[in-house]
Structure 1
């Protein structure tokens, strides 16, 4: 868990989930990619001590997140 508070976190997901069907991904795949990408960007903000999303400095992790979170059905 990352203990931080940043600005702009909601904007990261704005196009990822709605764009998934057009990219040929399932909803579970889109959620997995979104969670993995969000974590990578937040981890970069935490590492640099920033209160802003670090999209540019985390761009390689956005393309290929170093840590993958898998979506699973809970019910």
Structure 2
């Protein structure tokens, strides 16, 4: 399931300097980051990330959220303050 990305329309294109990142969660609750590039000599990557890194990416540079926080991180208790 796609959770978040940095892919948004800026009036000209969806790319951020020729690169985009996408955060996913598998059906068994694992997280991974897909990094895509349009630059010659660079390769697309798929990297497993831990829960803390996934949350940091979701709350930080990956501003385009496809899922709400509670759906993206169902095992994380949300404290109301």
TM-score with structure 1 length normalisation? 0.25
Which structure shows the higher strand fraction?
A: 2
Which structure shows the higher helix fraction?
A: 1
Higher relative contact order (CA 8 A, sep 6+): 1
